[in-house]
Amino acid sequence: MFEGRPDRDAEVVFLGRSNVGKSTLMRELTGHDFTTGRKPGVTRSPNHFDWAPESFMFTDLPGFGFMKGVPESQREQIKTDVVRYVESNADDILAGVLVVDGKSVIDIIDRHSGPDEVPHDVEMFYFLDDIDVPAIVAVNKMDKVDDRDERLDDLCDRLGLYPPWQQWQETIAPISAKRGSIGPLKEALRTHFHDAKRDDLLKFVS
């Protein structure tokens, strides 16, 4: 179980598979460089970036799913820890940002969909919904995607949201973190902060 969570009463958590660009996105949002390893699965415990006066923090949770060279038992443990962390702190979490790779997410979801299998990304999306944490899907690396609208519509379809994706702008945020293009995510976060009556936090996503 993850230890040492700062005592903050408002939090945004970032979840996602390894190598989808969560750390780059955190750097873009906070201006703070998080040490990321060259290997997937290097982030094994949460990275918190917090502000004491506002009692607020962004938390980058360890990547889940397949990681080369990481035994399955360890991968399962990481996922369990991530789920437990979000569950135990759900009352303080204003939004859960599920970061996916826009280029490969549809293929990954389809490859892992079967009668007895729910793909991790879809499972996490429903899990956030179940515990009443507003979910935002940050669809990263969109600069590498040609059929943008079609890809985003397909993603909505896989998540059980009716296309077109444009009607889900507080949930689906196409971004390119490496290029600093994260406006749709900030916009979605502003909506959720406002809904939670936390306009004092809007400056962190302006």
- Can you give the three-state secondary structure of 54-107, one letter per residue? CCEEEEECCCECCCCCCCHHHHHHHHHHHHHHHHHCHHHEEEEEEEEECCCHHH
pLDDT averaged over the chain?
A: 90
pLDDT (average), residues 24-34: 84
- Look at the block and give the residue holding tokens 């997937």: 40
Is 15 in contact with 96 (CB distance < 8 Å)? yes
What's residue 3's pLDDT? 73
CA distance 85 to 2: 7
> Is 185 in contact with 167 (CB distance < 8 Å)?
no
Res. 38: pLDDT tops 60 = no
Neighbours of 38 (CB within 10 A): 5
What mean pLDDT is predicted for residues 145-169? 96
Which of 66-70, 81-85, 91-95, 114-118 is the least confident region?
66-70
- Cβ(70)–Cβ(41) below 8 Å: yes
How would residue 35 be classed by pLDDT, with cut points 50, 70 and 90?
low
C-alpha distance from residue 93 to each of 12, 189, 198 (Å): 6, 12, 12
- Structural domains in the chain? 10-200 (3.40.50.300)
3-state helix, strand, coil in the chain (%, to 5): 45, 20, 35
The proportion of the chain whose per-residue pLDDT surpasses 90, expressed as a percent, equals 67
Query: Rounded CA gap, 41 and 163, in Å?
Result: 33
Q: What is the reported pLDDT for 11?
A: 96
Which residue is it, tokens 């998540």? 159
Residue 2: pLDDT above 90? no
Predicted TM-score (pTM) of this structure: 0.92
Specify burial of residue 93 (Cβ count, 10 A radius: 0-12, 13-18, 19+). Answer: buried
Q: So what's the pLDDT on residue 110?
A: 93
